[in-house]
Amino acid sequence: MRKVASLVTKIIFLLICYWFITRVVIPSMKNIFVSKQITIDQTPILIKEIKSIGQLITYTSFDEVVADTTIKTKGSAFVNGFNRFTPVPILPSADKQLVIIGRGKILVGTDLTRLSDSGVTIKNDTVRVQLPKAQILDAILNPSDFETFVEKGEWSNDEVIRVKAQARRKMIEHALNQHILTKADAKAKIVMENFLHNIGYKHVEVF
């Protein structure tokens, strides 16, 4: 009986040790040399502009693109010149390099505010609507959509903006290659036809 009690005590002691080591000692030791995440302060949001729009968004294209740029620095000429005289490059490159991955989305649709007065004609129970052509309404690449893959050297705000603009252009290009404007035009036509049928028009022509 005494042996069983002793064994149970040992097991309980070991479980307490296990809990203490895994939950308290190891995590705190592990985090001793981890940099604390920088958190931003709560600041007010100011409304700069409120704009009335009328955009019928008919397609969203989600995409992932890579953008990269290398910029020569003052030291690049020296390093490249030196390496030219050696059989194998000895000095590491002094160029600045930035490679980013962007995962964003393109919103495509029809700007209905461009629907002209002559674009809507009604005759008895027939309605004709001439929709404006579909266009890229937004190319959204938010800060949380970017991942920095390589960052060598110091990059100014303007230089980073240029690399991000490259990512944005690539995303738009990909979307256009998928004939997204044609698809968006067709979808806008369907949405408008449904709307007009629902409000009682028997003959609807949308083009």
Partner 1 sequence: MQQTILILLLFLVSCAKKDNTDEKPGVLTLREMSDLATVEYTVTKVIKASDNKTWFKVGDRKILMSCEAHIKAGIDMGAINENSFKIAGKNIEVSLPPPKVISISLPAEGIKTEYETVSVFRDKFKSQDRDALAAQAEQQILNSIDSLGILNQAKVNTSMFVTSFLKRLGYDNIRITYDGSTRQNPMQ
CB of 145 to partner 1, least distance (A): 9
- C-alpha dist (Å) from residue 49 to 46, 111, 113, 153, 195: 9, 19, 18, 37, 31
Tell me if residue 104 falls in helix, strand or coil. Answer: strand
Nearer to partner 1, 77 or 150 (CB): 150
Angstrom distance (rounded) from CA 142 to CA 119: 36
CB of 80 to partner 1, least distance (A): 24
Angstrom distance (rounded) from CA 169 to CA 145: 15
Angstrom distance (rounded) from CA 168 to CA 62: 12
Task: Judge whether 76 and 95 are in contact, CB under 8 Å.
Answer: yes
Nearer to partner 1, 83 or 105 (CB): 105
Please state at what angle helix 180-198 crosses helix 157-177, rounded to 10 degrees: 70
Nearer to partner 1, 94 or 115 (CB): 115
Nearer to partner 1, 79 or 137 (CB): 137
Q: Enter the tokens of residue 11.
A: 């097991």
What's the first-to-final CA gap in the chain, in angstroms? 92
CB of 49 to partner 1, least distance (A): 4
Q: Enter the tokens of residue 153.
A: 């050297």
Nearer to partner 1, 77 or 165 (CB): 165
Amino acid letter at 186?
A: A
Nearer to partner 1, 21 or 91 (CB): 21
CB of 203 to partner 1, least distance (A): 13
CB of 27 to partner 1, least distance (A): 10
CB of 90 to partner 1, least distance (A): 26
